[in-house]
Structure 1
């Protein structure tokens, strides 16, 4: 669309839809991956209407130095290397659950979107313009999440990626087909996390340069009303980049405690 707006006669990548053919349910629909381990059926539970407390937006800046030191610390403790998403996701998830004072025995979930464009067989064509992702889940109890070492939380997130496969994707699609009318949800204490830093939002040019900022329009994501977005700096920030922005939604009564937890991260209190 940006190419057309700038006057292009032809687009670089030919758009492809064919959603029912590329990502439609199988015949017959079947779930060979145990999707029900993460999802529930309950028509009476609508996650986006469950929150009664006011939810507010919180922004904070994550410096490259903090991340580098923290990932080195995690590797020393666990013997594993972690991506920025895995490492920072563990910190944010733990901090939010702790600040929200969720009962120790309650199940909590870390939900995130995984790119399936090269996972499905055959791969999605370059011009497919529908969503090329499905949710993945990590689950534990609030007590275990808060009390276990932070590197074990990062490892849970890392290990969950092993579930991403062609069968997982098609089982997820077929589960929707088989159970949509029964009320599919991921439960109550779901924290949704998504990384927008590499999607290209910050470089799209409709003819007057890149965007000044990049922000989500909705706070409903993957069954959570308290999502977290890793956001890119815009082209307007060129030359001033150090790390990236994080946008979270938090219940008002959890904000002060959450800020304290993030100060510990900034001061490298884990190390």
Structure 2
């Protein structure tokens, strides 16, 4: 056995070694906590900077679709939808508003490549809405077409975060064949609003954008508080929304009845009209 003096030195050495390990472990934990806090703060700051412009663009899309839905798109159905020249104001404005909304999505995605926005609750929900809006049974055009259309409205540096105005957009459509080429898929969909399936697809898309606004701006600080248009949805669209959109992608949306259910008086009127 070691002498008592040797034993005390061994105890001191072990205590020092143990203390060093403890301090190192605490330092590692502290640095990890700081890293996570910094990541969260960065995500929160990024979402704060980009969310309002996105929601404002989305709000105008919802407002336009709501107006058209109430009239069953009669302002557009049967009209000639030309890109050169753009002569129909409802067609041109919806074309522009959707394009500008996609531009804001594209800006957020490009600017957020190095930011983990899911660390912020709003950012995580925003990603869920994007995934839903771009899913095969919800989107209006394919993903690459949406991305291309969005890029068309993004101004070059130093005005990178600004979008083309409506007059600039129409001028580009009427003078640039390449612009018309990329916008053509969206124009084709909007030109078929007399077709029930295409009209319902636009209405479904509008409901998802509406839910995004209500979820991410519940106080409607930068958006308008609007009713939805469930009476304009057919059974297929309503089921897709209930079981696929809100049942799979957007389970955190609580007030789904707003988008799916209409009051009994309106329902009775519709049933009476169908039986006539």
Structure with higher helix content: 2
Structure with higher strand content: 1
Question: Common fold, TM-score beyond 0.5?
Answer: no
Which protein, 1 or 2, shows the higher relative CO under an 8 Å CA cutoff with sep ≥ 6?
A: 1
Shorter-chain TM range is under 0.3
